[in-house]
Amino acid sequence: MTNNILKYRDYLRIFDLISTKGTKLGCENEFAGIRAQHDFDGYTCWIAYKDLTVTLLFHGKFEVQFDRKDTFNEFYKKANSLIALN
């Protein structure tokens, strides 16, 4: 079952998995088609998949932006499978 409501801690788990198990590509890491990067001090992190971007802020706030609903659905399927791995 796919959960379309992910919490901040879920995104942090995904970010950590991509950062530790992913392939380094310049200033970002990539794992299972999802990219992760952070700013120089780590206060802002981004998770990206196609036209979808999740922005994680330091105090538990986040924002999900996407252009296509299909991308949103694909991302959540992948995100839930990564959470199950971790």
Which DSSP string corresponds to 19-58?
Answer: HHHSEEETTEEEETTEEEEE-TTSSEEEEEETTEEEEEET
pTM: 0.89
Task: Specify the DSSP element, H or E, that contains 70.
Answer: helix 69-85
Cα pseudo-dihedral 28, 78, 81, 63, rounded to 10: 70
At 58, which amino acid appears? F
What are the pLDDT tens digits along the chain (86 aa)? 345 689 999 999 999 999 999 999 999 999 999 999 999 887 999 999 999 999 999 889 999 999 999 999 999 999 999 888 76
Tokens of 64: 């999900």
Q: What pLDDT, on a 0 to 100 scale, did the predictor assign at position 29?
A: 97
Task: Specify the DSSP element, H or E, that contains 78.
Answer: helix 69-85
